[in-house]
Structure 1
Amino acid sequence: MIETLSSNDYFILLCALLLITGVLAAKFSSRFGVPALVLFILLGMLAGSDGIGFIHFENIKLAQLLGLFALVIILFEGGLQTKWSTVKPVLLPSLSLATLGVIITSCIIAVAAKYILGLTWFEGMLFGAIVGSTDAAAVFAVLKGQNIKERLGSTLEAESGANDPMAVFLTLLFIEFILNDATSITYMITNFLWQMGAGLIIGLTFGKAASLAINRINLDSSGLYPVFALAFALLTYSVTALLGASGLLAVYVSALVIGSHDLTYKHSIFRFNEGFAWMMQISMFVILGLLVFPSDLLDGTIIIVGLLLSAILIFIARPAAVFLSTWNLNMNWKEKAFLSWAGLRGAVPIVLATFPLLAGLENSQLFFNLIFFIVLTSTLIQGSTIHFFAKSLSLTGPKKVTPMHTLELISIGKANAEIIEYEVNEETVVIGQQLKDIPFPKDVLINAIIRKGELITPTGNTKIENEDTLYILVSRKSEQELKNLLTPDNTAKSTRSFIKA
């Protein structure tokens, strides 16, 4: 009994140390010029039995389960943060990249894998399918905080959120082809239409139901609202997956719907899921790193073949997929070049690489090692140079503005008033005006102003300056009028930044 408790205590201590190290890695990743997820993977490899030896982990089935769970959380958080108003203009190129782009990439990599590795056609197509999609976790993490032009950032986020289902579908399909030659083309087409169509419909339905339930229910604790929203994400995935449709697509679509609604405790829901998604990213990439033996990756064959396949993916397959799938879709060559370079691989290919292992396919361990090497190469080379590449092509925009959000000191479930936090930016029309001269609605009160880290008690003579943070008490009925006052109607970009959280 004592030995069991001691073992549990060591496990909890180890989890604490890994999370602390992961958070510190995320903190300093930008200084190193390396995406945080690469450091998480290296942390797992270092802690594994082939590294320092702290953890001996080889439970592939458990790693796959935890990976899928983490992907659900990450997709849900990414969907919440992605606004429909920014996705709608780029919906067509995003969907084309998420479907046709994945197929083109998979086919080119399949041909390369067949002739380089001496695989059968089905095995080559399986290899191509596994690395065919960009990764939501990698894209969301790398783009967060970057001032990439909104059109391109939204395209990448929507593509990465929507193409995971295509990769999962193709991977399972070719495993089925390898194990059962009798699988028909009719079955393949029917299954694809059902997975995508049902996933979309169920995602929309659960997203609307969740938004309605969150606003209608009156919970005793504000901390229960984020848990309630997260439960809907897990419910959406599980119900959809049990019906044989794409649970990942359903989760992302439902999150888009939920994030576009005004919700009770919306800011708390967003912040909770952001923190939880970070925790799942750290956990997932560390666990995936534990599955790999560094000595296997340092094998000469893995390095040479891995670099060759990475080069084909980065410089041939992805650009071909982007230029062909966005043909005649109103994108110039610079935008297409950037989308080609920003096609990051990440957790999804590694998680999908566990499927052949569990199926007991020949060459499955070779697949896993090569795919892991390709993911590391893609993330390290492309992920660390995305901002430089965008800047070189003049595809960066202005500094991202912190959106206006509600501080839930007073809940809309308890009172008809809220406190708004608003960060003044260059497009705010009241800059330079004194508070007494600004025609605020009668039931609006400026409670405090934070200026250069100092608290200012506002008076009628106080002038609004750029980068001020205003804390405004407002009744719900005047909230939209306040937004219209602070946000010029003719500035679409600024209007989009005033989304209540």
Structure 2
Amino acid sequence: MFFGSLENDGIVFLIAFLLACGVFAAKFSNRIGLPSLVLFILFGMLIGSDGLGFIYFDDAEMAQAIGILALIIILFEGGLETKWQTVRSVALPSLLLATVGVLITSIITGIAVHYILDVEWYEGLLFGAIVGSTDAAAVFAALKERNIKAKIGATLEAESGTNDPMAVFLTLIFIELILQPDTSFWMMLPSFFWQMGIGLILGLGIGKLATIAINRINLESSGLYPIFTLSFGLITYSVASFIDASGFLAVYVAALVIGNSELTYRYSISQFNEGFAWIAQILMFVILGLLAFPEHVFSINVMTQGLFISIVLIFVARPIAVFLSLIKMNYSIKEKIFISWAGLRGAVPIVLATFPIVSGLEGAVLFFNLIFFVVLTSALVQGSSISNVAAKLGLIGPVKDTPHHSIELISIAKANAEMVQFQANRENAVVGQTLKDIEFPKHVTISAIVRGDRLITPYGDTEIKAGDFLYILVSRKYKEELRKMLNRKKKPGKA
């Protein structure tokens, strides 16, 4: 029973302890290059019944519910931070990887599992379906703060954000085929197109509706805007699931629409969702770690079989799926190799592994332990070496830069003005010009410039340099005009 022997004070302390340990684990993981999800999972296993014995937890249904909720929050935050201009160029290859790639990975892995575990074909393919998709939580966390080339990072993030429908669809199909052998695979195929199509349409529609509502509503506190925004993510998943569409796909698409629209209180919304996504990630992986019993996961039999499956998945199934899916796409051999290597497994396979347990399938617990071991292997081997592999393949991009200072206006909605944050790069026409020489629209004030670690007070003679963050107060009436002016490119040949 979860927290069964703890009083309310003890539960509060335990949650606080878990979050604090999660923060330190995230900081420690960055230093050693180990994915934080590994440390979160290991910490959950450590405090579980087979470890220090603080908590006994074996409720697969509760773990599944917590995992789904956490994935919604993580996917929503990932979609908000994804730039459409980057994703647009990789939309087709990402979609192919999310569908054809997952199918090929699942089939090859399923065939290997059939022979390695000596199980029925449908059971082997069920295993392959569960581990067939890359994980958004793992991929977003692994690529964040790493300066991988934008095209490759966008491909991996878009794939991981949209490939869950295929994995969920295949998992449910093979569970149904095992429980009801008379069920026809082809009769269930239209369900996939319904899930994908309606999920996409819902995501676009609710995303547009959410953007209008966020910008038009006049709330008394700026802290309510992030909560209002997140509510649309939860509503999107609920509505999609209610009509049997893909909730995960709908959430990611809705967040993509919201994040790439003109949005009031963008900074507050972004910061809140980033922090909340970290909370969700920490608690989800710790809970999944609690659900796994080290005595079973690290048994000789599970580790031996799991290692063979991991080798097939990482070195055979994933590369074949990537190379076949990206035929005639504009990717070099090195880029395809890296995309193959960066296909991390994480929370989604573990959450999907609870489906057979909840459905009462024979041998489901063994599957869960093996899948858990495969995920750990993927995170340890692939996740810890992403930066090194990218460097050796020459796929390191420009160093990611973020402002060290921020400016927040509390009553910006009532003032009919917005504080715009803009980062200048070498291609922008404003770079190299002084503020007095730039023809800004009416009702525009340059409030501050952040250059590296310095906060610069702007004057007329202040020159804009590449990498500068400009904080600009502008009337909403002239915001679009300002945006176009700032994004104007230098003329060819001009330094």
Structures share fold, TM-score greater than 0.5: yes
1:240 matched to which residue of 2? 240
* Between 401-410 and 46-55, the greater mean CA deviation after superposition: 401-410
2:105 matched to which residue of 1? 105
Q: Matched residues in 2 for 1:5 and 1:42: separation? A: 22
- Matched letter for residue 199 of structure 1: G
- Matched letter for residue 277 of structure 1: A
Change (3 A) 1:435 1:206: closer
Q: What is the 5 A alignment of 1:194-233? A: 194-233=194-233
Q: Matched residues in 2 for 1:263 and 1:464: separation? A: 25
Change (3 A) 1:334 1:411: farther
- Matched letter for residue 283 of structure 1: L
Q: Matched residues in 2 for 1:473 and 1:268: separation? A: 16
Q: Aligned pair 1:158/2:163, yes or no?
A: no
CA shift digits 1:68-91 (9 cap, x unpaired): 001111111111111222222111
- Shift of residue 40, structure 1, vs aligned partner: 0.8
Matched length: 490
- Matched letter for residue 375 of structure 2: V
Return the TM-score normalized by structure 2. 0.93
- Matched letter for residue 79 of structure 2: G
- Shift of residue 173, structure 1, vs aligned partner: 0.8
2:46 matched to which residue of 1? 46
Query: Percent identical across equivalent pairs?
Result: 62
SS of alignment partner, residue 458 of structure 1: coil
Q: What is the 5 A alignment of 1:64-463? A: 64-402=64-402, 407-409=407-409, 411=411, 413-463=413-463
Q: Matched residues in 1 for 2:456 and 2:110: separation? A: 62
Change (3 A) 1:82 1:434: closer
* Between 192-201 and 442-451, the greater mean CA deviation after superposition: 442-451
Change (3 A) 1:96 1:51: same
- Shift of residue 10, structure 1, vs aligned partner: 0.5
RMSD value, Cα: 2.4
- Matched letter for residue 368 of structure 2: F
Paired residues of 2:428 and 2:489 also in contact (CA < 8 A)? no
SS of alignment partner, residue 448 of structure 2: strand
- Matched letter for residue 299 of structure 2: D
* Between 63-72 and 254-263, the greater mean CA deviation after superposition: 254-263
- Shift of residue 21, structure 1, vs aligned partner: 0.5
- Matched letter for residue 54 of structure 2: F
SS of alignment partner, residue 384 of structure 1: helix
Change (3 A) 1:449 1:216: closer
**Where in structure 1 are there 5+ consecutive unaligned residues?**
493-501
Paired residues of 2:404 and 2:452 also in contact (CA < 8 A)? no
* Between 430-439 and 164-173, the greater mean CA deviation after superposition: 430-439
1:474 matched to which residue of 2? 474
1:497 matched to which residue of 2? none
SS of alignment partner, residue 419 of structure 1: strand
Q: Matched residues in 2 for 1:253 and 1:453: separation? A: 35
Q: Matched residues in 2 for 1:471 and 1:260: separation? A: 19
* Between 138-147 and 439-448, the greater mean CA deviation after superposition: 439-448
Paired residues of 1:219 and 1:225 also in contact (CA < 8 A)? yes
- Matched letter for residue 329 of structure 2: L
Paired residues of 2:133 and 2:167 also in contact (CA < 8 A)? yes
Paired residues of 1:102 and 1:321 also in contact (CA < 8 A)? yes
**Where in structure 2 are there 5+ consecutive unaligned residues?**
none
Q: Matched residues in 2 for 1:335 and 1:387: separation? A: 13
1:495 matched to which residue of 2? none
Q: What is the 5 A alignment of 1:16-55? A: 16-55=16-55
- Shift of residue 15, structure 1, vs aligned partner: 0.5
- Matched letter for residue 417 of structure 2: A
Paired residues of 2:403 and 2:469 also in contact (CA < 8 A)? no
1:8 matched to which residue of 2? 8
Q: Matched residues in 1 for 2:395 and 2:249: separation? A: 29
